């Protein structure tokens, strides 16, 4: 067992663990917990978010909702939805997950089963410290179309193409808006407050959409 601690999160690594043991751990730990688990190739990562991590996660979620409102997109927020694929023996719990393009397919569902339901259209991982499991490989295998990573200063966007992630400059979901600039608003919220910053973000998004429409 190896433990890495940062001011934003802690990560614990367990090795040589069977898939069934991982599934048992998920069941016994239940859903009312703060830590998030990931499993790949016999390795479990247990990540426990601390204040900076969780604050960034919540801020980004608020901005994603603004983007959907301004672009006329419906959304289902699935949070740290447990994503498991028995056929792949892989699983993960992202910081946030969202159904947008496929929202109508899961709108009324209380439980998601990836053997019959689509995976979330967009997932976010806040990574102030380096994850012990390759999340690019993990979420690509599960089939997440769009993956965001935020390290406290930079937001990276990945698009799934032919089973692998390609880093892109423009979000496939929010094409008219330069979402890679979102970290600027996260930093501003520390000075101006979250509500004031969210209003500023909404104004900025409307400007981006207007500029895009005129091109």
Instruction: For residues 26 and 2, give the distance between their C-alpha atoms in angstroms, rounded to a whole number.
Output: 20
**Average pLDDT of span 5-9:** 66
β-pairing, 96-99 vs 76-77, is: antiparallel
* Interval 98-143: pLDDT, tens: 999 999 999 999 999 999 999 999 999 999 988 989 999 999 999 9
β-pairing, 9-14 vs 155-161, is: unpaired
Q: What is the spatial order of strands in the sheet that 146-150 belongs to?
A: 76-77, 96-99, 122-126, 146-150, 155-161, 164-168
The pLDDT value given to residue 2: 47
CB atoms within 10 A of CB 149: 20
The single residue listed with the structure tokens 């946030």 is 96
The pLDDT value given to residue 7: 64
The pLDDT value given to residue 31: 77
Percent of residues, the chain, with pLDDT higher than 70:
97
**Average pLDDT of span 150-159:** 96
**Burial letters 155-194, b for 16+ CB under 10 A, else e:** bbbbbbeeeebeeeeebbbbebbebbebbebbeebeeeeb
**Average pLDDT of span 155-169:** 97
Reported pTM: 0.92
Name the more confident of 86 and 8: 86
The pLDDT value given to residue 132: 87
Q: Is residue 214 very low, low, confident or very high in pLDDT (cuts 50, 70, 90)?
A: confident
């Amino acid at each position: 067992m190896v433990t890495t601690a940062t001011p934003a999160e802690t990560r614990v690594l367990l090795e040589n663990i069977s898939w069934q043991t991982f599934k048992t751990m998920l069941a016994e730990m239940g859903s009312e917990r703060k830590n998030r688990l990931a499993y790949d190739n016999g390795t479990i990562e247990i990540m426990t978010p601390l204040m900076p991590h969780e604050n960034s996660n919540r801020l980004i979620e608020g901005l994603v909702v603004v983007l959907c409102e301004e672009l006329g997109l419906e959304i289902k927020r699935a949070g740290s939805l447990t994503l498991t694929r028995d056929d792949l023996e892989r699983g993960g719990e992202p910081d946030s997950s969202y159904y947008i393009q496929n929202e109508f397919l899961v709108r009324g569902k209380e439980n998601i089963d990836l053997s019959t339901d689509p995976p979330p259209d967009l997932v976010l991982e806040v990574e102030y410290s380096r994850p012990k499991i390759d999340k690019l490989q993990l979420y690509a295998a599960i089939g997440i179309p769009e993956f965001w990573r935020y390290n406290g200063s930079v937001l990276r966007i990945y698009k799934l193409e032919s089973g692998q992630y390609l880093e892109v400059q423009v979000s496939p979901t929010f094409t008219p808006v330069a979402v890679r600039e979102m970290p600027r608003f996260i930093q501003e919220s520390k000075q101006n407050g979250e509500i004031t910053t969210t209003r500023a973000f909404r104004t900025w998004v409307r400007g981006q959409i207007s500029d895009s429409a005129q091109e």
